[in-house]
Structures are given as structure tokens and as C-alpha cells.
Amino acid sequence: MDIDILLALQEFRNGIGGILTSFLSKMTFYGELNTILILMAIIYWGVSKEYGTYLMMGWSGNRIVNGILKVTACAYRPWIRDARIIPYGNSMTTATGYSFPSGHTMNAASVFGGTAVRKDVPVGFRVVTGLIVALVAFSRIFLGVHTPQDILVGAVLGIVVMGLAGKLMQWINAHPEKDLWILVAGLICAVAVAVYASVKSYPIDYDSEGKILVDGAKMANDTFKSVGWCSGFFIGWILERRFIGFTTEIPTMRRVNRVCTGLLVFYALTLILNPIIEKGIPKPYSSVVTCFIQMFYISFLFPWGIKHFEKSEAKANMHSVG
């Protein structure tokens, strides 16, 4: 049934030209990991610290849920299950790991769906963000890289986790002295998932030429990335909360400067430092380390730099006035 739906969409895609296909191939961009990381960083550093923390906490939870489900179900991608499925363009390059549930859909459900379920957000904006989740999800089956159950479960789970993250944020605000419990719980979950992904067995199937269809160790790499992001967030979050306490209640131009500087360094870490680490450390360890660095930088290192710079700037202004 699911393959039949994909074949029908593929026939429709091939028959209507590139207008809708081009649009949906661009929409899938809103569920890509780097897009989500950058959006969360912008919000956390320059829009609303509270809102950004909520998004990162929920997204970290979603990455763990997605990772453990992928290596548990070990569902093959549609084109592996049926050679008649031919994904559009280079869609397969961003379709990493096992198929169930859809990571792009859960990513979109984290940031955009997480916004749509917030009652303090204007209704019009909630409708738009909800529509983005739906379009990202549909784009994954339209492009032939996921099945309907992949996106449906991904969307539902993603929004449910964000709802729970909202409740958790309310609980933390009411019990700020118990924030260490959240850190411990988050790290336990991350370590447990890493151990599970390391020790479990993976299916081994062969094609007609006797070659392995899917390498389970490679498919599990997405799960180890999730472990790095999750642990990087929770450690960075508690350190920032306990020792930094930066604020987004600043003039607009300072926010713009802050975000531009932060993203410049983020790109340097992602495009220069992380490839060096990946060459020097074998997978899956390099995946954990590089993703930890990304999220730890967003949640703690850059806020620490902001606070240090702002203190130095304030002292310099006092001396100049004096």
C-alpha cells in the first residue's frame, strides 16, 4: 500500500513538469538539520532566550526519540524496498539513516510544529508554521525518500514531544532548583541510546549480486549524532543557566551583530573544525564529538563569549565616561 502511494506520486511528479517538484524540493530544506540548528541559534541568541531554550530542549528530545526508533525498526528506504521507486534529483543525499520515522518531518515538527502548538503565538503565525510542517512532511513522500507512515508518525511524535517540552519548561520555571534533574535525565537517555545503538544487532540482507543492501553501522550514525546534540544541549544549558545568564533583552542592532558574529563562528566550527575531527577520529565517535561541539557552542560557548564581551564593553564605557 505505501509503495503504491509512492509510485502514484512518482508518476504524478514525472507527469506535471518541474513546478510543484521544484517547490517541494525547496520546502524539504526547512527540515534539514543545518537549517534547524541555525534557526534555533538565531532565536536563542537574538530573539528570545526562553523560546530558543524551549525549541532546543524539545528538538533534543525529538532527536533521541527519532534515533532510537530508527535503529529499532531498521526500516529500509523506499528505493531499497522496491527498485521502481526513483527519488527525485539528489534527494537521496540528505536521506541518511534508516527510513522510519522521518527525521526531516520530526525536525520541522520541532521548530515549526513547536511554534504552532504555543498558545502565546499569534494565530496567523501558528497556521503558517503548521502549514510548513505539513509541506515538509509531504515533500518527503513526494520526492520518494520516505513512506506515508514515516512522515505521519514523525509529525505526530514530533509535536507530542514539543508539547511535553513545553510542560517541562513550565515545571522548571516553577522548580528552578531542580534543573539538575533534567540534566541527569537527559544524559542518562543519551548514554542509554548510544549503548543500545552500539550493542544491538542489525538486519543483513543481500542483493542479487551478493552485496549487502544496507550497512547497519552506517545507518546508526544518525542516532549517534543525536546523542551528541542532546548531550551538548543539556550540558551547555545547565552551565549557561548556572554561570552565565545572558539575556536577549537588548537593542535590535546589538541582536543583529550578536547573531551575525555567532553564525560566522558556527560556520567555521561546522565547515573547518568538524571535518578535521572527522578525519582524526573514527565513526561513530567523531559523530558524537562534532555534534556535541555544535550544540554546546550554541547553548553555552557563544553565550559565554557574549557575556564576557559585554562585561568588557561596559567596563570600557565606564572608564571612558570617567
Over residues 47-75, the pLDDT tens digits come to 999 999 999 999 999 999 999 999 999 99
Report the domain count for the chain: 1
* Report field, pTM of the whole predicted structure over 0.85: yes
C-alpha grid cell for residue 179?
534543573
Over residues 85-140, the pLDDT tens digits come to 888 877 677 777 889 999 999 999 999 999 999 888 899 999 999 999 999 999 99
Whole-number Å distance between alpha carbons of 57 and 46: 17
| Region of residue 245 (phi > 0: left; psi between -120 and 50: alpha; otherwise: beta) | left
How far is the first Cα of the chain from the last one, in angstroms, to the nearest whole number?
76
Beta bridge mates, 281: none
Span 135-161, average pLDDT: 95
Check whether 313 has a pLDDT greater than 80.
no
Span 208-227, average pLDDT: 84
Higher pLDDT: 214 or 70? It is: 70
Least confident of 122-126, 173-177, 217-221: 217-221
Q: Which long-range contacts (CB under 8 A, 24 or more apart) does 242-247 make?
A: 242/179, 244/300, 244/303, 244/304, 244/307, 245/307, 246/49, 246/303, 246/306, 246/307, 246/310, 247/49
Which residues, at least 6 apart from 204, have a Cβ–Cβ distance to it below 8 Å? 212, 216
**Domain coverage including residue 84:** 2-321
Element containing residue 254 per DSSP (H, E): helix 252-268
